[in-house]
Chain A
Amino acid sequence: MIELRGIGFRYEEHEVLRSVDLTLDEGELVLVSGRTGVGKSTLLGVVTGLVPRFTGGVLTGDVLLDGTSIVEQPPRERAHLVGYVGQDPLAGFVADTVEEELAYGMEQLAIAPETMRRRVEETLDLLGIADLRSRDLRTLSGGQQQRVAIGSVLTTHPRVLVLDEPTSALDPTAAEDVLATITRLVHDLGLTVLLAEHRLERVVPFADRIALVAGDGSIRVGPPGQVLADSPVVPPLVELGRLAGWEPLPLTVRDARRRARELPPLVAPAPVAVRESVPRLAARGVTVVHGSHVAVREIDLTLSVGQVTVLMGRNGSGKSSLIWALQGTGRRASGTVDVDGEDPAALAPAQRRTHVGLVPQTAADLLYLETVADECAAADTGAGSEPGTCRGLLDRLAPGIDDAIHPRDLSEGQRLALALSIVLTARPPVVLLDEPTRGLDYAGKAELARIVADLATHGRAVLLATHDVEFAAHVADEVVVLADGEIVSSGPPRRVLAESPSFAPQVTKVLGAPWLVVEQVAAALAGGAR
């Protein structure tokens, strides 16, 4: 139905896509995958028409819809054919309330009022958001916003839906809701969906085909089992399948569980010996109140030397509020925080930084200078450390970053590493990270896991908040789950993660507790073979 023919795209000297051919059939869900920065969003942009109009660069080749070329049409003239939802739905909202937002696209297309009224109601029901109809868009949760954004492009009855990372900012449950909605559209309405996502573990079971953007400008398209066999980015399930030599590769937990019976009996990993823990940060009865809303309710938390604590929970469960309160900038309503005998909230900002370091959700908020070298120098003078301290940290965290590069041009992972080095320059014994895995692909996350482990071995107490179950399984010494501002469970990951149906990593779902990550299985298999 939609056909990309010989698409090429390049910025001045950098070639992003080269002679790409891709045909999307009616009622098909095609997943665009690949490492960050290889051109996944560019490929989507070619279909919506935003590339090259909003990005610059030179586009060659042709885009056909039902045999007619639409490559010359700007996005607005394709609005009735192609629906697009960007990475941050909130940034794309035009209206105030859910109902008006759903109607906006139809107003632009001059659809008759009676039809608009009917379609808004139908869409509200289809996406299960009827009870939100008059809500302010800004008060919705992330998953609700994403569903409203999808609904608002559906009302114009497009033929193709293009989604750029629809679940990357969502907690596991909200992501499942959104994906269930998308599959329902594909199955019931025969909608064609083109979707980019790097959390493959979430979307692979729903994909009909995968288009793997290789990074050299070419793409490889095929059924998931075939493409994932040698893809550089794969979900843990496929990793497990590769390891065990299963053919065809399992794509759903159900498949894998059936195959897992063939595995030789494995010796379960021994529980990690509880180390003598030296508390670094002790919080007692911390409460944070925003207006009349209690964000964090009387939480007790201890962060110990050399331990990584992972904070999990739904969007809006109080993770960020807790992190900012522990750092001292966020105001607490009551409770005490103690870092080496001092309360960070009572200190001046400069001293606070030497007690608790925090990397906020948007790491870019920390950066303001033109080059990496300038940023590092400013961090050194700001912290009163020897020149070169920050750069040294950066080289340890993410080696090989050019001094003269603009921080905005770094990849997400590199930018995070830079922000982290700046924070670490003040040598805080406690490091807090708020959602550091946003926008990182599997390689980026592996790198981050190494960095976090490195911080812990250097004696720092680390707390990080994340939605990413697989990442948590890799790094956590202890997991704390928040709900509605209270701790609902805490303890070692093999207990907490395995207990919860929504927070269990894929390997646990297949093999049961205490298995958490593929590496454990690999070690056990190797041990069994010996």
Chain B
Amino acid sequence: MTGSAAPSSGLPRDLHPIAWWTWAIGLATAASLTTNPLLLLFVMGSATVVVMARRSGHPFGRSFRLYVWLAVLTVVLRVVFRIVFGGQEVGHVLLDLPEVPLPDWAAGVRLLGPVTSEALLAGLYDGLRLAAIILCVGAANSLANPKRLLASVPPALYEIGTALVVAVTIFPQLADSARRVRAAQALRGGATSGVGRLRRFLVPVLEDALERSLSLAAGMDTRGYGRSGGATRRERRMTGSLLLLALIGICVGTYAWLDPTAPQVLALPMLGAGVVVAALGLVSAGRRVHRTRYRPDPWRTPELLTVGTGLAVAVLGWWVAHTQVVVAYPGVDVAPYLSPAALLVGVLGMVPAVATPVPASSPIRREVLA
């Protein structure tokens, strides 16, 4: 633990992906528990600051801009929807649009009509909340390589994890092949409209994708993917039945919990039992998978700090939402304001920007080296 006490926490390295995701989910939780635009802006701001400071040089590190655009689009759409589908009857009318008369079967749906400032603000707050959540997910995505995250799943889920990794890998390749085929098809004559045109484009792309998948599968197989760890038949049966039991338990428990008329004995106890059995099943399945991990990401003080920040933000956000309702959910008729606790929620999320090491593949560091 030497050197980790330094504010920038020592040597450049990539932070454990789970730490980044916990932090991001913490921030997203806090954002989902409020509609205060000031607080939401603070949360979005701190997520952005951390991304700018600790973004990795990986292709995923550049994806944050996409999420920003998605967030902006969400806000715009929410506000536009409020205008198109009408808002509350009451309030200050900003723009008196005529209402479009709709047939009887569409009763309850309003098209256009007077636009009130209250409706617009409500749409804006709502949109901001969604945007903040999107931005938090985007932050996690550009800070932590999603593939590293999938690779750190427990051994029992390893095979599913690999399948997901492969799917993530295939996507950019599919885009490449689509671009290539589009250019190639322009080189010849043939069907230029309707189904024919779609077919010209889809057939070669799909054939290409299929061929790629096959050669990838062959490559993985020859390198030992899916080797049996030498589990006996009895062990395999045991694992199977444990997982099945767990699934039943969790289903019944969830149903009973959501349906208030079901006997409550079935609810939480059943859910808990299901989770326990599932854990046992996973451990048992994990024993079957025999593999090791190359240079796993270590778990040290910066990781703990990052996770702690995420949890603190979430808990504080929850506390604010329950004790200071006026701050967390401001009315649309008064100017929103922040309490000291709410301000802390907004600012605390920035801690990882200084508490974590610079990523090993940071774009900033690369420029310095060049």
Tell me the chain B residues, 202-231 only, with Cβ under 8 Å from chain A: 203-204, 207-208, 211-212, 214-229
Cα distance A86–B217 in the bound complex, in angstroms: 11
The 8 Å CB contact of A76, one of B183, B211, B226, B296, is B226
Stretch of B63-71, B127-135, B184-192 lying at the A interface: B184-192
In the complex, which residues of chain A have a beta carbon less than 8 angstroms from the beta carbon of B220?
A: 92, 94
Pairwise interchain contact B222-A48, C-beta atoms closer than 8 A: yes
The 8 Å CB contact of A381, one of B189, B199, B228, is B189
Judged by a CB distance under 8 angstroms, whether B291 is at the interface is yes
In the complex, which residues of chain A have a beta carbon less than 8 angstroms from the beta carbon of B219?
A: 84, 86, 91-94
Judged by a CB distance under 8 angstroms, whether A362 is at the interface is yes
With A75-B222, A82-B222, A92-B218 in contact, is A368–B203 under 8 Å at CB? Answer: yes
- What 0/1 readout, one digit per residue, does chain A (56-91) give for beta carbons within 8 Å of chain B? 000000000000000000111111101110111001
Tell me the chain B residues, 316-350 only, with Cβ under 8 Å from chain A: none
Pairwise interchain contact A364-B207, C-beta atoms closer than 8 A: yes
With A86-B215, A358-B187, A368-B200 in contact, is A50–B221 under 8 Å at CB? Answer: yes
Cα distance A408–B292 in the bound complex, in angstroms: 41
- Which A-chain residue is minimally distant from B201 (CB atoms)? A368
The 8 Å CB contact of A360, one of B169, B184, B192, B216, is B184
In the complex, which residues of chain B have a beta carbon less than 8 angstroms from the beta carbon of A463?
A: none
Pairwise interchain contact A106-B184, C-beta atoms closer than 8 A: no
Cα distance A367–B145 in the bound complex, in angstroms: 37
Judged by a CB distance under 8 angstroms, whether A238 is at the interface is no
> Which residue of A49, A80, A109, A426 has the most chain B CB atoms within 10 A of its CB atom?
A109
Judged by a CB distance under 8 angstroms, whether B180 is at the interface is yes
B interface size (C-beta, 8 A)? 55
Q: How far is the CB of B156 from chain A (nearest CB, A)?
A: 15
Pairwise interchain contact B189-A80, C-beta atoms closer than 8 A: no
Cα distance A105–B220 in the bound complex, in angstroms: 8
Cα distance A350–B192 in the bound complex, in angstroms: 10
Judged by a CB distance under 8 angstroms, whether A274 is at the interface is no
> Which residue of A82, A103, A152, A366 has the most chain B CB atoms within 10 A of its CB atom?
A366
Judged by a CB distance under 8 angstroms, whether A255 is at the interface is no
Cα distance A423–B162 in the bound complex, in angstroms: 42
Indicate the size class of the contact surface on chain A: 35 or more
In the complex, which residues of chain A have a beta carbon less than 8 angstroms from the beta carbon of B217?
A: 54
Judged by a CB distance under 8 angstroms, whether B290 is at the interface is yes
In the complex, which residues of chain A have a beta carbon less than 8 angstroms from the beta carbon of B58?
A: 96, 136
- Which B-chain residue is minimally distant from A94 (CB atoms)? B220
Cα distance A58–B14 in the bound complex, in angstroms: 49
Judged by a CB distance under 8 angstroms, whether A382 is at the interface is yes
Tell me the chain B residues, 150-198 only, with Cβ under 8 Å from chain A: 162, 165-166, 169, 172, 180-181, 183-192
Query: What is B's interface to A at a CB cutoff of 8 Å?
Result: 58-59, 145, 147, 162, 165-166, 169, 172, 180-181, 183-192, 199-201, 203-204, 207-208, 211-212, 214-229, 290-296, 360-361
Q: A94-B165, A382-B189, A382-B192 are in contact. List 15 more A-B contacts (CB 8 A).
A: A48-B222, A54-B221, A75-B218, A75-B222, A77-B227, A77-B228, A82-B222, A94-B223, A95-B147, A113-B294, A113-B295, A113-B296, A360-B180, A365-B180, A378-B189
23 contacts between A and B (CB under 8 A): A75-B221, A76-B226, A76-B227, A77-B227, A79-B222, A79-B224, A82-B222, A84-B222, A92-B218, A93-B219, A99-B294, A104-B223, A105-B223, A109-B227, A110-B229, A110-B292, A112-B292, A113-B296, A117-B294, A156-B223, A360-B184, A367-B204, A383-B189
